[in-house]
Structure 1
Amino acid sequence: MTRAALYARFSSDQQKDRSIADQISLCRDLCAREGMTVISTFEDRAISGSAAVNRPGFQALMQAAESRLFDVIVAEDMDRIFRDQADYHNVRKRLDFLGITLHTATGKIGTIDGALRALMSEQFIENLRVHTRRGLEGVLRDGRHAGGRAYGYRAIKDKPGELEIVEDEAEIVRQIFSDYVAGKTPRQIAHDLNNRSVRPPRGRLWNGSTINGNVARGGGMILNDLYAGRIVWNKVRMVKDPATGKRLSRPNPKEQYRIVEAPHLRIIDDATFKAAQGIKAERRRDATPASAQRARAPKRVFSGLIRCGSCGGGMSSIGSDRKGLRLQCSAHRESGSCDNGRRIYLSDIEALAIKGLRQHLAHPEVIAEFVDAYNAERKRLKKEASTERARLERRLGEIEREMRRIVDSIVVTGMPPEQFVARMQELEAEKTKVMAGLERAKETDNVIALHPKALDRYKDAVVELADELKRGTPTEFATVRELVTAIIVHASPSRPGGAGTRANAEDDRNVRIDIKGRLAALCGNPALFPNMAMSG
């Protein structure tokens, strides 16, 4: 009897879960008519079919297919399984290799009709995208807002796309623009708003980035044309990463923007808005679109790992002086939510951290204990694996002999095959599990034991750690960054007079750091590698 796996999916959270039950019921009826036995069902709820990689139900279906737990996949229609041609062809090749066929309510899917239906499914998504865009452009032509939230406005109930001004929030917007034109920085404005306990557009606190925005994307309050009475649409486009199936936004060039005048939504007069844009242009640092979009690699070994001991937030660069690069709490600078305004030299933090790592990693008795424990555990696991492998090999032989006896009974004696179907299915399933266990046993045997001589090379590498980090590259930093999860900086409060005064010169170099690492997790023994503290 043919073993069938059922697959059902619906794409929108606005659809009903009942859709899954209806699809499964239809597939079960099809299997009953075709004489197929339903082995299992797989489903994805409220997930688009345009990518296979981000559907857990479909991925589970393919894993079961690799184990040959069924002979056919049954779905209501092709578009339930695939909305992308590449997914269809890749999966179809794999299923053909495994000997698994595809069936829908209209019958078995062949090579040619399957390719055509995959093309039609993908074209449906493309057409839907075009129709959606056309609808949004129609909304824009009517002078309505095509989507997205903006501080200072709210949607009018039962009037899709229509906004009205929230006067309390509009007054805050006017104050922000007035302060910005008067010379205040976005960070200073954010500090003032937080001190006044003004509710931000989202989150708990105002940040400088909320006001300043991003020029390439046209985001942020200062760049929002809606405040000047203009609805601007199509600033970004959404693209799907084929590797992850996730939708990502990409900025569009300004010539692709769609702009409609909306004087009834004006909060800021033209003169003030233009003055703010001029100041924004003067302050903006030159950057090419390519460099702005390029992923940042860590420039220093501990980049992004240094955190403020007062609030736990990150610490970022505030420029250099003759002594070197200085860091300050980002939360203090951006929103004023942290009282720690101390400025710390990065070179001091790096020197302390490297010193701590060298001292902590250079205890040969600790490493020797780890090596001994590791090798002992390897021996124990290998012994257990050998015993288990022998048992599995014996059981595999028994299963294969029983399967041969069943085949002989059918061929030689002429006994009806129907009597043995259930037993053969049980043996096939058990055989798959046994073979998977044998593969795991092989992987256990492949792990290499640590040799005691490795300690000498290890100690030499630890001694050279500081020099390597000074001349290292971002790629080489990755090894140390795997060991360190965070460096918490604790510094004594500044004395009256500011961080740059002579009274604070000594305090600026007096810090204590806590180095949090993964060594304890790697060894499974927190006592061997506790988090360390260094002062200097």
Structure 2
Amino acid sequence: MTRVALYARYSSDNQRDASIEDQLRQSRDYAERQGWSVVESFTDRAISGASLIRPGIQKLMADVQGGRFDIVLSEALDRISRDQEDVAAVYKRLRFAGVQLITLSEGEISELHVGLKGTMNALFLKDLALKTHRGIRGRVEAGKLGGGNAYGYRVMKQLDARGEPIRGEREIVEDEAEIVRRIFREYAAGKGPQRIAADLNRKGIPGPTGGRWSDTTIRGNRAVGSGILNCELYIGIIRWNRQRRLKDPATGSRVMRMNPQSSWVRKEVPELRIIDDALWEAVKARQTELGEVYRKNIEGGLKALEQRATANALNATHRPRTMLSGLMFCGCCEQPYVRRGQDRYCCTSHLMGTGCTNSRTVTRDKLEERVVNGLKHRLMAPDKAAEAMRAFAEETNRLNRERRASSESDRQELAQVETAIREIVAVIEQGGFHRALLDRLTVLEAKQAELQESLARAPVDVPDLHPNIAELYRRKVERLSEALDHPEDRYEAIDAIRQLVTRVVLTPGAKRGEVHAVLHGDIVAIADWVLKETERPRKAGHPTHRAHALARVSEPVEARAWPGDPRLAGRSKRY
């Protein structure tokens, strides 16, 4: 019997869920009259046909490749898609899979339908977009919003004389309007968006979406008019048609593009004004001033990056922005420390007002200086770390010996078991079958499977650490210490430091402004650093070849979390 799959869709411009059931019912009736068997139904509810990025059609096309049905049946070709290119793509894929496309309106679809109906559907979409655009523009020209809503306003739900909803009407919500004025006043007075958002969160004032405030909600993007500080509706101006949506032909997703200013529509609505002109201009002046400052910094940073890339194009794009990027954490809440302003770091949780009481900040230069000094006088004091390195090497080598002995024992026992199995099989083949032999064979085969699984689970053999690793460590520490004092070698030294320091925990001290910094290191990473590139790789079997093998094996283990590796038990190190 012919297998058929049904597809139904209704678009967002026809919000009637029953439309789906009507389409499926008519398609089932048609399939029953034809004697076809309906194997599955696919639907997309309230989704436009201008794109194939729809769960129902995507599932349908995936099942087509599996050969689950012979025919795809739909109400009309525009239910599949209204885009001419998409219709052609679906048709080609169905034909390739040997599946027919049939609709109730057009019958069996051919290349002629794809060309003509695809063009008609595309023209329909274009005409619909023009009519919608024209209608929204007329609404804006009448002093009503074209769509959406801004913080500080609520939608007025009213009906006209015919009972139709009046769209675009807004009224001021005074409580929210006062928050808007407060944000403008504080920003104009020199307060940053992060601090403003944090203060609002601490006071429990909900944001525009009902959740927490963020700095981007306040700052927005001045070029596109997003964010609290850039919403012209607060000064009684509706600015419409600033952007347009275009469909990316590669992904089917919608992207925003700026329209030329000549096509923007501006309409004054003084009844919706919340901010006076003086305060608005003060905010715009500060935005311009800060934009100029950051523009110079960005240009300077890009120029430095270009110079560094010229000197070493391969590594420049992979280096962190600063020595401690991503390594700083708050000792009170475990959240990262992030840059605030130009060269100062603070706790993310405290900055965003999410509960942390650690208000201490620290400048980048001072923190990096303290870290380097700590490395030089503690991490780089070989006499203090030599014993830990020696103990680590001894423990690693002991575990290696135990693992190798256990594996060798399992291999020997496995060989004995396999020999016994072969002997029993030979006896049975020669006609010496006995129930006891069969029972014994079952036991041996179970033991064989157990030993094989044990050997398969055995960790990859790690070469022994060099017994003189402490001396190797001392030599590399001396070279790194010298590199820190030479500007031309600073980036290489920073890369080495980031291999040794897994995190820097910053905790407020008892005194005003005091911040304690605790450096955490990973003994496995330190051993890896010591042995890595001690000498150039040699042939297999050469003593230094084992050192490089360890470096490769240890790299994935260089995780931030210490637990999990038996070698780390009691061996993590704090500086």
TM-score by length of 2: 0.60
Q: Answer whether contact 2:145 2:169 (CA < 8 A) is retained.
A: yes
Identify which range, 192-201 or 119-128, moves more after superposition: 192-201
Map of 2:77 onto structure 1: 78
Map of 1:102 onto structure 2: 101
Question: Residue 79 of structure 1 aligns to a residue in which SS?
Answer: helix
Residue type of the alignment partner of 1:341: S
> Following the alignment from structure 1 to structure 2, what is the Cα–Cα distance between the partners of residues 67 and 211?
50
> Following the alignment from structure 2 to structure 1, what is the Cα–Cα distance between the partners of residues 275 and 341?
34
Question: Residue 209 of structure 1 aligns to a residue in which SS?
Answer: helix
> Following the alignment from structure 1 to structure 2, what is the Cα–Cα distance between the partners of residues 306 and 253?
44
Residue 339 (1) aligns with residue 371 (2)? no
Residue 272 (1) aligns with residue 272 (2)? no
Map of 1:208 onto structure 2: 215
Residue 234 (1) aligns with residue 241 (2)? yes
Distance 1:253 1:211, change over 3 A: farther
Q: Answer whether contact 1:187 1:335 (CA < 8 A) is retained.
A: no
Residue type of the alignment partner of 1:317: R
Deviation at 1:160, TM superposition (A): 2.1
Q: Answer whether contact 1:489 1:513 (CA < 8 A) is retained.
A: no
> Following the alignment from structure 1 to structure 2, what is the Cα–Cα distance between the partners of residues 249 and 306?
36
Residue type of the alignment partner of 2:359: G
Question: Residue 139 of structure 2 aligns to a residue in which SS?
Answer: helix
Residue type of the alignment partner of 2:233: L
Distance 1:180 1:78, change over 3 A: same
Residue type of the alignment partner of 1:161: G
Map of 2:43 onto structure 1: 43
Distance 1:164 1:318, change over 3 A: closer
Residue 163 (1) aligns with residue 170 (2)? yes
Question: Residue 147 of structure 2 aligns to a residue in which SS?
Answer: coil
Q: Answer whether contact 2:240 2:265 (CA < 8 A) is retained.
A: yes
Deviation at 1:102, TM superposition (A): 0.7
Q: Answer whether contact 1:309 1:489 (CA < 8 A) is retained.
A: no
Residue type of the alignment partner of 1:332: H
Residue type of the alignment partner of 2:574: S
Question: Residue 202 of structure 1 aligns to a residue in which SS?
Answer: coil
Q: How does 1:273-422 map to 2 (within 5 A)?
A: 273-285=280-292, 300=320, 308=330, 310-311=332-333, 313-318=335-340, 327-335=345-353, 337-343=355-361
Distance 1:174 1:61, change over 3 A: closer
Deviation at 1:122, TM superposition (A): 2.7
Higher relative contact order (CA 8 A, sep 6+): 1
**Any idea what the Cα deviations from partners look like across 1:354-398, whole Å, max 9, x if unmatched?**
99xx999x96869x989x99xx9xxxxxxxxxxxxxxxxxxxxxx
Deviation at 1:73, TM superposition (A): 1.0
Deviation at 1:332, TM superposition (A): 2.7
Identity between Structure 1 and Structure 2 (%) = 38
Question: Residue 510 of structure 1 aligns to a residue in which SS?
Answer: strand
Deviation at 1:284, TM superposition (A): 1.7
> Following the alignment from structure 2 to structure 1, what is the Cα–Cα distance between the partners of residues 145 and 403?
67
Deviation at 1:36, TM superposition (A): 2.8
Question: Residue 300 of structure 1 aligns to a residue in which SS?
Answer: coil
Deviation at 1:164, TM superposition (A): 1.4
Residue type of the alignment partner of 1:510: V
Map of 1:178 onto structure 2: 185
TM-score by length of 1: 0.64
Q: How does 1:118-157 map to 2 (within 5 A)?
A: 118-157=118-157
Q: Answer whether contact 1:27 1:75 (CA < 8 A) is retained.
A: yes
> Following the alignment from structure 2 to structure 1, what is the Cα–Cα distance between the partners of residues 350 and 23?
55
> Following the alignment from structure 1 to structure 2, what is the Cα–Cα distance between the partners of residues 178 and 319?
20
Residue type of the alignment partner of 2:68: L
Residue 535 (1) aligns with residue 540 (2)? no
Among 510, 515, 518, the residue aligned to 2:518: 510
Aligned residue-pair number: 422
Distance 1:118 1:535, change over 3 A: farther
RMSD: 5.0
> Following the alignment from structure 2 to structure 1, what is the Cα–Cα distance between the partners of residues 396 and 85?
54
Question: Residue 22 of structure 1 aligns to a residue in which SS?
Answer: helix
> Following the alignment from structure 2 to structure 1, what is the Cα–Cα distance between the partners of residues 4 and 357?
64
Question: Residue 119 of structure 1 aligns to a residue in which SS?
Answer: helix
